[in-house]
Structure 1
Amino acid sequence: MIENQQIINNANERSIIILPFSLVNKEIELHMCLNVQKIAAVIEVGEYSVLPGVMPPFVYMIDMQGIPVPVLELSKLVENNDLTQSQVKSVDKKKQTKKRIIVCHVLSIYIGIIVDFTKKIKTVQNASLQPIPEIWEQSNSFFVSGLLNEKDYYRYVFDIERYISNIGLNIGSVSSEFKENNHILKGKKGLVVEDSRVYQLLAKKFFEKYEMALDLAADGKIGLDLLLKNANKYDFVITDIEMPNMNGIEMIKQFKSIHKNSSLPILFHSSISNPEFSKDLMGEGYGDMITKFNEETLYQSIINLFHKN
């Protein structure tokens, strides 16, 4: 299992913690990784009992401590035409695969992905995480949110939200039903700093529903630039913590170092559920934190921000 407290202790605002893994197809190996925040567990194939009943595209479903987890096979990604020989590495024929299931927690959904190799969790500098070329944003078959340069090859950051959304799973929605106090939000303007295209889409739908104005930024550097230019125009900020180029904590630290007396409400979101981490953010005066990026949680958290200020 992945220990959240260990992640918190080892992380800082300038680093990101990843689990490197590889996919192998024939003699080609694709090097990828996942942000540890999105991982609930890493288990050996066959370690958990298989539950009856599963629908495509899942290959089977496992019982993880009472939680049914559907499992996907990702090896076909290696055959993708978007990958060239320069982007993958030939596999040593003597190398034996040791298949594992990475159990991911995306919003309220648990999804398992079968991989051929995993390496030890490691910390990398946030600045070394490169954004993907803009043309990749248009691809419906290449699910990458960032790049890491590792000596002889690049390691791709797997965009799990985009992948499972593309296969037809609904990982989040905005209902048509309004809340009792929806008038409180009408006309407000917010900045959402988020690198996930899926979460960006949810934010757009949420803001449109409650008739709020929205600026979107894909990473902390872009978000900081917008904040410095438009600080007085925003009613609140929602930011992810782990992002390429600059993460949410560093972005807010730099903003507050310039606007020392700013009372702009900040709402961080992270899949790390840790009361001490949330207390630290509040203690430093950075803002509040939520661990679910869904409509109900967003709505109540934003309402609470306005009640506090």
Structure 2
Amino acid sequence: MSRSRLPLVTVGTLVLALSACGGGSDPAAPAAETPTEATGGPTEEATGDATGEATGDATAEATGAAGAGIAGCEPASLETLSEGVLTFATSEPAFEPWVVDDDPTNEQGYESAVAYAVAERLGYDDGSVEWVRVPFDAAIAPGPKDFDVALNQFSITEERRQAVDFSSPYYDVRQAVVTVEGSLAADMTSLDQMGELLFGAQVGTTSLDAVVEAVGPTMQPQVFNSNEDAVNALASGQVDAIVLDLPSAFYATAAQLDAGVIVGQLPASGDAEQFGAVLDLDSPLTDCVSQAVDSLEADGTLDALQSEWLADAAGAPELG
């Protein structure tokens, strides 16, 4: 069965306090020698053979052959936008370690790999997967969607649940403070020292919430359309520090910033922050997508993909 394709809901123009390039959103043992090593992304030496042998084979074994599906969730019974096709969404552009080379179709990067694993678990082969680009805020805004499933580091919150459905979580995430060497924030070790800093974060994100709730700075944080805009503002000295999800923080310090520094992880409060796939509110697909994610969690596929694509959190100190 299929639903007719509906126009994408747009959101109002976001007001930027600073100018920078557009981009997408959301540790390691101490910084690796190259950006790809730091983020877990593929290099011929670091992951080429290992991907095929160590994690690639394990992932293929865990996910099983396309068409195996989940009982009651076969493509013929799923009400997708296009019959027999599962349409995923991500941002434009999409960044590592979530998507490699801004190409979600290459199955490289954690969220790209998770998307194809979910599709395979539901019985879709690679040729039956399509991708569209949707801005972060538009994907979680109320109204009909131009996709079946979106993966773009969407933290699951009760407020967002009023507008969209979430799948079961596919990643537990922490937020981190990022700066550059020589900045006011570079040598700070506690939240008490950070109250006078000027922070930046992407609009509408839990990173921005974390600045306010965990740090409580005296100056209102600068708000940006994307993580890339925030990174560029930090690089140009327009803010003292920014907050990103931890995998994105490792990528930013390894590949986007000269002399980037992860000051530390913000303390977790309450329930763990988790990323989930976004679907239309009351989507008929939500239960099946959640079952697929749950099965990938249960058989170790998500752990294997995290080991392949995401940096080890041990390299980022805890801030108290």
Pairwise TM-score range, normalised by the shorter structure: 0.3 to 0.5
Which has more radius of gyration?
1
- Looking at secondary structure, tell me which structure has more strand per residue: 1
Q: Please, what TM-score do these two structures have when normalized by structure 2?
A: 0.33
Q: Which has the higher contact order (CA 8 A, sep 6+)?
A: 2
- Looking at secondary structure, tell me which structure has more helix per residue: 2
